[in-house]
Structures are given as structure tokens and as C-alpha cells.
Structure 1
Amino acid sequence: MPISPNQGSTGGGTLVTITGTNLSNTSAVTFGSKPATAVTNVSPTQVTAVSPSGTGSVGVTVTTPGGTSNPVPFFYVGAPFKSSLSESAGPLAGGNTITINGTGLSTATSVSFGGNTATPTVVSDTAITVAVPAGAAAGPVSVSVTTAGGTNNGLSYTYIDDPTITTITPTTGPTSGGTALTIVGTNFTSTESVTFDGVAGPFSVVNSTTLSVVTPPGTAGAADVVVTNPAGSATAAGGFTYVAGPGI
């Protein structure tokens, strides 16, 4: 007598389908010592029932006027617990794969990022990987994992849009570096690097639209300035010009 699914939440509420023979006029379905919270006699070969709360492995039996069936196993699964995300931010377009760590993840069937859902790959009971779906807008969303034991959330993931560069002030400085710059643009909160023709300069995030940067040493001439965050990069081609010092 097969039962599908054969596992569900410890809180109950799982709709299961029991297949067998002579199931007409089913009067009860029992999970261990507890009766199902709802029973529907679909046909002589099929009954549906809603599991009560429980723990561990229990035997499910069906009772008809002809007697009680042999038990088939049903496994109660606790709700998942998530402890961390391998990455807490990423591009608005999604597509990056992250790892979710926790416990009770072996039966994970979906992961929701705000209102968008993705199907995970189960690595073990303590880890799953998932390709992040595209976000609706930049900003934080809650992350929830659904397993046979239920749904749990509590972690946050932040969608980030590509940075943009509007102005750089000043636009010139010595080849020795050390020029203090202000870069104005957008989506700077999670800036990872600022480079001048590929050479990184120290920076600090003033706010989401402003960076304070110090130029590294460079070669005389125009240098491309690139601001990078987890979503992508913005380039100001020839945005800063290195000027050689006088020679005598």
C-alpha cells in the first residue's frame, strides 16, 4: 500500500495519497496512534488524508468495514534552520550561485528570494546551493527555504544594481599619486574596488552616491577609472589624467 509523499512536517498538515485495494468506505486513516485530520475516499483504490502532528517514523493504517490494513511508514521532518548565506548580496539580474548553510535541508524543494522562487540543489542535510533568481528591484529581500518539514526564513539577501559614475573631482593629479578625489554616481554602498588603469586606489564609501578615493601612482596621461560592486562595474574612460612633474 504505497503512500505519497511518505514524509511531512512535524506540525502536520501534509496531504498524502494512499493507494491500495478495497479502500471503499474508508472510515479512518491513522498515523501511528493519531487519526488523520481529514480523510477523503477518492476511489476503491485511493484515499487522501491530512497528516496530524507527530515526530519520527510512524505507521499509517487504513480502516474500512473489512478491517485495518498493514502499516506503511511515514516520516516526520522538522522545519529547516538556516544559519548563513555564502553571499549576502549580488546583481539585480541574478544568476549567481550561492550556498545556504543550516540543518534539515536534505528535503529542500524551493528557495524564495522575496517574491521570486528558485529550485535548489541539495548538497547535504546542512547545505544547499541555488542560482539566485532576478530581483524586482535593488534592495534587501527575505530568504526562505521550503522542505518537507515546512518553511523557514530569517536571512536577508540584497539585490544590487550596477554602479554608475557621474562626476570625478578633481580630474587631474601628479603621477606620484596621492590625489584625493570625490566620485559621484549611484549604487556605491557595496563598492568593492576603485581602479585607475587597473591599479587599485584606497577608497571609502561616503554614501550610496559618493566615494572618497586617493589615486595610486600612475603613468602620465589619461587613465580609465573603474568602480566595481558585486553587480558589475562602471567605467569613466579617461576619467582622470596623470600629469608628470616638471624636470630641470
Structure 2
Amino acid sequence: GFAARSVKVMNETVALCQLSEGAVPRESATVQLSLDGLTFTDATARAVVDLRPHPEVHRINPSSALTFGGEVLVTGEGFYFSAALCRWGSDLSSHANILGPTKVVCPAPQVTDAHTAILELDVDGYGTIKAGIFTYVEPIILHGIRVRAGPIRGGTSVSVYATSFHPDIPVSCSFGESHVVPASIVSETETSCISPPVARPGMYHVSLVHASSGEDVSVSSGDDMRYEYYDDPTLTTIMPAGGSIKGGTHV
């Protein structure tokens, strides 16, 4: 066993025991009290307490989101609490979704402007736990695409133009609602992606999504962001079937 660092008698029936940080085991323990350090009270089932480590945050992902909000996964250990409040600076908060002892999801509330805030977990019994630095950024404004059509087998290089790209927001290209491919930043205003294969021809809206969360991070300035897929060409016949060895025949 181990002894408490200090004991404070609150009243005739309550004593407050403070444990040393390194002495707390991650398991249940039996509590016994002594007035002289030699004679202890009997161990009973009612004196068994469940000791848990202090919550510790390892990382948050993503560490940035658009001003219209999103979700942030907080990973760490010791998340044995049943409820927590996510605080985004001094003015904003949201209720955390506890996924287990190592994962908490914090819904990032919508804000009116881009700024940086400290994300903290407010937990009863543990106080405030710093999770990390979180950055709100403005949506990426799209101005158009170059190469507006290609075959349904995909493989066409498509350029997407925007006002600017955020260094804190890794992006992918989305064709329609479910076809997402990696994007390569070409310049401050251009990114490039390869069109994915699709099942049927038609018009597909092109947008940019967060490379990790898949959330939409772009808005259109009004330019046409549609990409047209067409059926792969099939060669059925050629006319004429022959010509002079000197060339010059139109086929």
C-alpha cells in the first residue's frame, strides 16, 4: 500500500486524503485510516475506492477548422469522466462527446471571424485541462477549374483556382459527394488533382475538402465548378480501311 501525502479532518465523519501524484495506482484500492500511524481501521467493502489517473491530452486532430465549425478529436489517457465541457477561449463552449478513456470529440462551434483559441476540457473534479491550440480560418473561395471534361475512367489532370490556400488546412479534391482524391498545391492560388473514375457520365461539382476529416472547406465565388464526365470512346470501325504508302489519306 501507500500513505496519503496529507490528511485533513473536515468534520466528525469526513476526512480529506490527498495522495502524492506518483503514488496513485490505476486500479482499485482499500482505504484505511489511522490516528497514530500504527493502528488502522478495518478494511471493509465500503472503504474500497476506484483510483484513476489524472486526465492527460496527447493531441488534437484537426488543429484547425473553418469559421462555420466542425469536430475535433481529442486523444489522450485517463478520460474516465462521464461529462466534460469543451472551452474555446473564454467565450465559446460545447458539450464533449466521451468515446472512451482515450478519446473525446469536441464540436467546434461556429464563429464569425478567423482567430486562434486555446482548446480546454472543463471537467468536474479535475478542473481545466489544456488540450491544445486551435485555429479558426476563413473558407477557401474557389474561382474556377481548368479542364472541364474527361472520360469516366478518370486520370485527367484538373486545376482548381482559389483566392488563396491556408497552410493549416490540408486539402483534397472532391468530385460530387463521394469521390475524393489527393490535391497538390501548385501555387498560392492553384491546386491540381487527378479526376477519379466514376460509374456513369454526367456533371459533377468540384470542391475542396479537409484531407483528414473530409469536411467541405471551400465556397464558390459564383464561377462554374462543374466537371463533365463522358463515356470512354470506343473504336468500332475506320474508313477507308487502307491508303497509299505515300500517306496523305484522310481517315
Which bracket does the TM-score occupy, shorter chain normalised? 0.5 to 0.7
Aligned partner of 1:150: which letter?
A: V
Deviation at 1:68, TM superposition (A): 1.5
Q: 1:4 to 1:117 in 2, by over 3 A?
A: same
Structure 1 stretch 140-149 or stretch 21-30: which is displaced more?
21-30
Q: Which residue is equivalent to 1:91? A: 151
**Corresponding residue pairs, total:** 178
Q: Which residue is equivalent to 2:172? A: 110
Contact 1:92 1:134 in 2 (8 A): yes
Q: 1:21 to 1:100 in 2, by over 3 A?
A: same
Matched, 1:223 2:223: no
Contact 2:85 2:95 in 1 (8 A): no
Aligned partner of 2:161: which letter?
A: N
Matched, 1:145 2:208: yes
Q: 1:42 to 1:96 in 2, by over 3 A?
A: closer
Q: Which residue is equivalent to 1:131? A: 194
Q: Distance in 1 between matches of 2:99 and 2:247?
A: 80
Aligned partner of 2:209: which letter?
A: T
Aligned partner of 2:199: which letter?
A: A
Q: 1:108 to 1:23 in 2, by over 3 A?
A: same
Q: Which residue is equivalent to 1:202? A: none
Q: 1:118 to 1:70 in 2, by over 3 A?
A: closer
Contact 2:161 2:189 in 1 (8 A): yes
Q: Which residue is equivalent to 1:160? A: 230
Gaps of 5+ in 2: 1-56
Deviation at 1:45, TM superposition (A): 4.8
Matched, 1:63 2:126: no
Q: Secondary structure at the match of 1:41?
A: strand
TM-superposition CA deviations, 1:173-214 (whole Å, max 9, x none):
xxxxxxxxxxxxxxxxxxxxxxxx9xxxxxxxxxxxxxxxxx
Relative to its length, the structure with more strand (as a share) is: 1
Q: 1:21 to 1:126 in 2, by over 3 A?
A: farther
Q: Secondary structure at the match of 2:193?
A: strand
Deviation at 1:78, TM superposition (A): 2.3
Q: Distance in 2 between matches of 1:45 and 1:8?
A: 22
Q: Distance in 1 between matches of 2:249 and 2:216?
A: 56
Contact 1:15 1:48 in 2 (8 A): yes
Query: So what's the TM-score if we normalise by structure 2?
Result: 0.57
> Pairwise CA RMSD of aligned residues?
3.5
Deviation at 1:127, TM superposition (A): 2.3
Report % sequence identity. Answer: 22
Matches within 5 A, 1:1-248: 1=57, 2-19=59-76, 21=78, 24=81, 26-54=83-111, 55-64=114-123, 65-70=125-130, 72-102=132-162, 103-104=164-165, 107-123=169-185, 124-147=187-210, 150-152=217-219, 154-161=224-231, 162=233, 223-225=249-251
Q: Secondary structure at the match of 1:223?
A: coil
Q: 1:137 to 1:48 in 2, by over 3 A?
A: closer
Query: So what's the TM-score if we normalise by structure 1?
Result: 0.57
Q: 1:219 to 1:156 in 2, by over 3 A?
A: same
Q: Distance in 1 between matches of 2:207 and 2:137?
A: 17
Contact 1:116 1:133 in 2 (8 A): no
Q: 1:126 to 1:222 in 2, by over 3 A?
A: closer
Q: 1:75 to 1:166 in 2, by over 3 A?
A: same
Deviation at 1:51, TM superposition (A): 1.0
Q: 1:138 to 1:220 in 2, by over 3 A?
A: same
Q: Secondary structure at the match of 1:157?
A: strand
Q: Distance in 2 between matches of 1:59 and 1:72?
A: 6
